[in-house]
Structure 1
Amino acid sequence: MTQPAVLQLPTDWRDFLALTKPRVMSLVIFTGLCGLLAAPGHIHPVLGFTAILCIALGAGGAAALNQWWEADLDAGMKRTARRPLPEGRMHRVDARDFGIFLSAASVVIMGLAIHWLAATILAVSIVYYAVVYTIWLKPRTPQNIVIGGGAGAFPPLIGWIAVTGHITLMPVLLFAIIFFWTPPHFWALALFVQSDYAKVGIPMMPVVKGEVATRHQILLYTVLLVPLAAAPWWIGGTGAIYGISAIGLSLAFLALSLPVALRRTQESDTMKPEKRLFGFSIVYLFALFAMLVADHAFSGQGLLG
């Protein structure tokens, strides 16, 4: 890892914001908030806001550390070359220190304001993404997304635990849903940006195992996701609003994954089925967790107290 020789532009607040990956963080914040709102029990609104703020700070800190470590790789990929570090708008040490500060602050505030179980799991999620996924898994195995998917699955678990103070089957299922959602979501993206990964030597599934194997894996994980998404309803943790929505959304996800799985060539290189699946996968997760909160609200259990 080498420091860019010349800083092309001065650093400003937008560069620090970019380090936190705001678009990714929006999903993290949303699922964490949904876990908090759907949990049984009550939490004071100020404490609820603090818990979500800590989740956001932790996610932002982990993202900054990810970009600090991967600055050279990002510079070689079209999709990431405009980030602050590849463009030389920021010193790498500043990105590293910013990531460490956000990460440490999020864990300490969570522990002091909420409780240390939530803080511990938040700390695990940060280390999982910044170290286990970024440093260890991503450059070494095409299963990086499968194993590393746990990094993005923690927010609803943390939000739920912030309210209840303990771990039960329901938040574990919410974790598992995102864990199994991640491979088809990310591999759909990897299929139409695989040349970027190949250029910098990252062993993503399409690069190492080929497109056919990747497409089969997308279908496999989507099939597994269908019953898993409905499991909170089947165990009695939610009502029919969530359950019916989960089945409908998951079947739509499966329907969109079939053209991707059955495709063998890149006709006209448009990759439309893959892009549709990737786009819908984001809508899917937002809608699924929104239905979780709606189900909780209409059940009369209330939200923040």
Structure 2
Amino acid sequence: MSVSQSQSVAQSLLRNFTEITKLRLSVSVVFSSVAGYLLGTDSIDFYILFLLCVGGYCMVGASNVYNQIIEKDLDALMERTKNRPLPANHMTVRTAFILASLLTAVGVVVLYAINPVTAMFGAISIFMYVSLYTPLKTKTPLSVFVGAFPGAIPFMLGWVAATGEFGIEPGTLFMIQFFWQFPHFWAIGWFLFDDYKKAGFYMLPNGKRDKGTAIQVVLYTIWTVLVSLIPVLGITGKLYLTPLSGTLIGILGIGLLYYALRLYKEKTSKAAKQLMLASVSYITLLQIIYVADKFLR
């Protein structure tokens, strides 16, 4: 095999790996875990941080691979997913299953090396995502509610990795990311409605792009912002937010609510896509503000 052929094969393998483990999504999840760790730790241990990044990526990657194995035939029906490695026959189901199993094993072992509680929550997130959320997507709109549990674990997982225990602080971080997922995923479900319909996925609360769904989006957006501000009150243990940072979070929240209300008013795919982008900006900036608040005050 020539050097150019070897490079081509290596690039193809890397591309398949990044696509089937959903690189961008996995990195964003790891970012949440790192933010949670920085909030929970008294002194930064870069070895633990490294383990958290590796273990976190493995766990999220494994969940995504299992998900794509189960949904291989459904992915082939949708424009957005038809070119993924499995439906496009760039990877066999057997290879994907071996990869998912390896990622799971490595992820659990690496997180266990941090502490057993972190490994337990990591394992719970894989189980809920693969065994509950994935099969429910074609059966009930409640799948988003079920999926919000494993989806909310990363932010709190970092705190647990730093402290070795679960309490009100990681519980608050969990709540923030839990409520945030509803406007985020319903916005995605709105603008990808027709594509999801091809595969029979129920991603909106009442299955329709209507006023009822839009009202729920607005309500959950309000709850997301309110929960995000709880640490300002000083009732969440070591997790505290100064009034200045609380004001910044409040301004971000007003921005997020603006896009939620815009979806309610316009009920268009464009408004839904803007809300989705706003929600990603909100959770990312929120985590940055929380961490900066701790280290700068």
Q: Structure 2-normalised TM-score?
A: 0.90
Identity over aligned residues, as a percent?
Answer: 33
CA contact (8 A) 1:32 1:155 kept: yes
Q: Distance in 1 between matches of 2:262 and 2:209?
A: 17
Q: Distance in 2 between matches of 1:43 and 1:165?
A: 14
Matched, 1:253 2:256: yes
Q: Distance in 2 between matches of 1:272 and 1:209?
A: 16
Matched, 1:41 2:39: no
Matched, 1:142 2:141: yes
- SS of aligned partner of 1:281: helix
CA contact (8 A) 1:194 1:206 kept: no
Give the deviation of 1:51 after TM superposition.
1.7
CA contact (8 A) 1:249 1:284 kept: yes
Alignment length (residue pairs): 284
- SS of aligned partner of 1:204: coil
CA contact (8 A) 2:54 2:110 kept: no
Give the deviation of 1:238 after TM superposition.
2.3
Partner of 2:78: 77
- SS of aligned partner of 2:83: coil
Q: Structure 1-normalised TM-score?
A: 0.88
- SS of aligned partner of 1:205: coil
Matches for 1:97-108 after TM superposition, within 5 Å: 97-108=98-109
Partner of 2:119: 119
Partner of 2:16: 15
Give the direction of change, closer, same or farther, for the CA distance of 1:153–1:206 in structure 2 (3 Å limit): closer
CA contact (8 A) 2:63 2:100 kept: yes
Give the deviation of 1:206 after TM superposition.
6.8
Deviations 1:154-180, CA, capped at 9 Å, x for gaps? 112111011111112121111111111
Q: Distance in 2 between matches of 1:51 and 1:180?
A: 24
Deviations 1:12-44, CA, capped at 9 Å, x for gaps? 221022111111112101110000011142342
Matched, 1:59 2:60: yes
- SS of aligned partner of 1:42: coil
Partner of 1:277: 275
The AA in structure 1 aligned to 2:82 is A
Partner of 1:5: none
- SS of aligned partner of 1:149: helix
Deviations 1:135-192, CA, capped at 9 Å, x for gaps? 2x21221121122111211112111011111112121111111111111111111111
CA RMSD of aligned residues (A): 1.8
Give the deviation of 1:235 after TM superposition.
2.8
Deviations 1:99-158, CA, capped at 9 Å, x for gaps? 1210121111211x21101111111111111111112x2122112112211121111211
The AA in structure 2 aligned to 1:263 is E
CA contact (8 A) 2:142 2:205 kept: no
- SS of aligned partner of 1:208: coil
Give the direction of change, closer, same or farther, for the CA distance of 1:260–1:105 in structure 2 (3 Å limit): same
Partner of 1:178: 177
Partner of 1:292: 290
CA contact (8 A) 1:42 1:163 kept: no
Matched, 1:213 2:212: yes
CA contact (8 A) 1:54 1:110 kept: yes
Gapped regions of structure 1 (runs ≥ 5):
1-8, 300-305
Matches for 1:172-251 after TM superposition, within 5 Å: 172-205=171-204, 208-235=207-234, 237-251=240-254
Partner of 2:5: none
Gapped regions of structure 2 (runs ≥ 5):
1-7
